[in-house]
Structure 1
Amino acid sequence: MSIVVRDVLEHELDSVLALNNAAGPAILPLDAARVRHFYDSAEYFRVALRDDTLAGFMIGVGSGSEHDSSNFRWFRERHADFFYIDRIVVASRRRGGGVGRALYADAQSYAELRYPQMACEVFLEGDHDPALLFHGSFGFREIGQHVMPGAGMRAAMLMKPLCSHAWVRETYGDSLPDEPWVRARQTIAARPRLTGTRSR
């Protein structure tokens, strides 16, 4: 019954799409092209497995990203350096079982090595109290509200300071140890491209 969190695999994208679009109005819908875009470019795209079955996923980007979300832009207009959680989705049958906390703990372990704070939003439509309580118990606090253009959905904009970041920066600077759990995800955009002729 353990929860395993790891990078998403390409063959899982259809399952991620189905899980996202079954999550209800608290999560914006995706299409296959958008999921592929995240797979190719998102700094953080991880899945949670329980009993070898997809139980949830999380997608995140750094403040230097070209991410086109209006919520992301809201944070970037006000803060210089942060890690943004674009979405977290947990399968309905797995909610309340620790999957969301496992994903957030994993994301924090990644982010605190690179950013001083984490940002996310909770839509204030319907029964949003459980989501606000969950994020509040994880250290997030509301710093404002934003209405998404076009969609008209109001969101509570949340941030959480990452207290270990200053120590990591002072100790390691830009030279983090080459350990598997520290390495950044290799997105398509970041992967080296082979040039020149192939040696024989």
Structure 2
Amino acid sequence: MSVAIRPCIARDFDSILGINAAAAPNVALLDRAELLRLTSMSGVFVVAETRAGIVGYVLAMNSSANYDGEEFQHFRASLARPFLYIDQVAISLDARRSSVASDLYAHVEDLCGSRDVRMLCCEVNVDPPNPVSMRFHEKRGFSRFGELDTSDGRCVALLVKALSES
């Protein structure tokens, strides 16, 4: 599947909210107000687009963001060096198992290199389990940093990936 990756713009929000809703509970369910709030503090917010429309997105926060997310706060308290925290990544149902997620992650990693950020962080649900996402992240070089029992009753694996200095 051939995709173009570009920064998110406001007219993408309806597509993003649809993709987000279809991906729950593997990503936190967003409404328009929360999407606007997250957008205002995001360090990276990109979409993958085909001729048919938006098929995926990544929303990420710089380690210096004024973001109150529980998992993000845990990384900020635990890591000394700057990082990019992937808060949400979701792919439309018809584009799953294609290269869209890998293309989005490669784009994010390239952005990190140009911004001198050498660490990516994210979390994947352990309970409720998300084994597809866990395998994807492990194949991309993420490793477990720990686990966190969240205030909303989930257990998540905290994942990190060191990026090369090149």
TM-score normalised by length of structure 2? 0.93
Where 2:132 maps in the other structure, the secondary structure is: helix
1:66 maps to what in 2?
66
Deviation at 1:39, TM superposition (A): 2.6
Q: Kindly provide the amino acid, as one letter, of the partner of residue 101 in structure 2.
A: G
2:134 maps to what in 1?
132
Q: Kindly provide the amino acid, as one letter, of the partner of residue 4 in structure 1.
A: A
C-alpha separation in 2, matches of 1:93 and 1:131: 16
Aligned counterpart for 1:142 among listed residues 138, 141, 144: 144
Provide closer, same or farther for how the CA distance between residues 9 and 86 of structure 1 changes in structure 2, counting only shifts above 3 A. Answer: same
C-alpha separation in 1, matches of 2:40 and 2:77: 25
2:75 maps to what in 1?
75
**Cα pair 2:144 2:160 within 8 Å, conserved:** yes
1:106 maps to what in 2?
107
Alignment of 1:162-177 (within 5 A): 162-164=163-165, 167=166
Q: Kindly provide the amino acid, as one letter, of the partner of residue 124 in structure 2.
A: V
**Cα pair 1:61 1:84 within 8 Å, conserved:** yes
Q: Kindly provide the amino acid, as one letter, of the partner of residue 122 in structure 1.
A: V
In the alignment, structure 1 residue 154 sits paired with structure 2 residue 155 = yes
Which structure dedicates a bigger proportion of its chain to helix? 2
Deviation at 1:143, TM superposition (A): 1.0
TM-score normalised by length of structure 1? 0.78
**Cα pair 2:41 2:67 within 8 Å, conserved:** no
**Cα pair 2:128 2:154 within 8 Å, conserved:** no
1:96 maps to what in 2?
97
Deviation at 1:51, TM superposition (A): 2.3
C-alpha separation in 2, matches of 1:56 and 1:17: 11
5+ long unaligned stretches in structure 1: 168-200
**Cα pair 1:118 1:161 within 8 Å, conserved:** yes
2:18 maps to what in 1?
18
1:5 maps to what in 2?
5
Which structure dedicates a bigger proportion of its chain to strand? 2
The number of residue pairs the alignment matches comes to 164
Q: Kindly provide the amino acid, as one letter, of the partner of residue 18 in structure 2.
A: A
Task: Give me the identity figure in percent.
Answer: 27
1:188 maps to what in 2?
none
Q: Kindly provide the amino acid, as one letter, of the partner of residue 84 in structure 1.
A: Y
In the alignment, structure 1 residue 44 sits paired with structure 2 residue 26 = no
Where 1:22 maps in the other structure, the secondary structure is: helix
C-alpha separation in 2, matches of 1:74 and 1:40: 21
Deviation at 1:41, TM superposition (A): 2.6
Where 2:157 maps in the other structure, the secondary structure is: strand
Deviation at 1:127, TM superposition (A): 4.4
C-alpha separation in 1, matches of 2:66 and 2:40: 13
